[in-house]
Amino acid sequence: MSARTETARLTTRDLQHLKRQGEKIAMLTAYDHVMAGLLDDAGIEMILVGDSLGNVVLGHETTLPVTLEDMIRHAGAVYRGTHRALVTVDMPFGTAGDPETALRNAVQILQKTGCQAVKIEGGAAMAPTVARLVGQGIPVMGHIGLTPQAVHQLGGYYRHGKSGPAAQTLIDAALALQDAGAFAVVLEMLVPDLAGDITRLLDIPTIGIGSGSDCSGQVLVVNDLIGLNSGRVPSFVHPKADVAAVIRQAVGEYITEVKATQPAKAKGRAIA
């Protein structure tokens, strides 16, 4: 039985308070009940049930195959493992194409999982969708810069905002999302100076990933953080553990132990 102490769950207002106080916000991804509970016990403030589960858990090359049903199943498991963290759920590819579709799908996510917010990828064009959801009482986190759901349109994974026009587009996008009512914006793979400028410009928190240290907070894929993966780790990640090595060692010792066990001798005499 868990010895977890019951505490009040964090809210979007708490994040705003942290931003105003200049205290950084810590966020990680989780995809299952056990990991979510461990992160919650450790004191993480935000958990993202990311559509990165397509890569990390389901073995896909991109996030595009992830379905709404996938997100609901995993988000429910994550939420049930937590008591304190604010849990946000990615709206997967194709589920927020227009405001009404997004609203229907976001309602399903919140009703079926218990989670508190959704995250939507995209810039200024997504502002009407964000406004529609917020108008119905659904907290929305924006996401600009490298947006994995648009990887084919973007032409791959690279740093964003290098040119003046590109930087201005991202600034305009962040402002449009804030004006639409987003409670925070993820800045993924932005030029660090630009990410810092956007953070200082906005009243809402920015959560960076690969965008430097000047954002209001940071988010990472938890498997990258703890070394529980078999692929390449992004250059901006500095793993704090090598959990994969621990698992391999434990399994290796188990295999050795099983194979070293002597068969039980048969009792009695064999009948010729």
253 in a known ligand binding site: no
Tokens linked to 235: 């250059």
Instruction: Please state, in angstroms and rounded to a whole number, the distance separating the CA atoms of residues 120 and 133.
Output: 11
Write the burial class of residue 140 (CB in 10 Å: 0-12 exposed, 13-18 middle, 19+ buried).
buried
User: In this structure, are residues 65 and 52 in contact, taking their beta carbons and an 8 Å threshold?
Assistant: no
Catalytic residue among 45, 61, 188, 253: 188
100 is catalytic: no
2 in a known ligand binding site: no
Write the burial class of residue 85 (CB in 10 Å: 0-12 exposed, 13-18 middle, 19+ buried).
buried
230 in a known ligand binding site: no
70 in a known ligand binding site: no
119 in a known ligand binding site: yes
Supply angle C-alpha 9, 123, 78, rounded to 5: 30
Q: Tell me the residue type at 251.
A: V
Could you tell me which residues are annotated as the binding site for Mg(2+)? 51, 90, 121
Could you tell me which residues are annotated as the binding site for 3-methyl-2-oxobutanoate? 51-52, 90, 119
Could you tell me which residues are annotated as the binding site? 51-52, 90, 119, 121
Catalytic residue annotation:
188
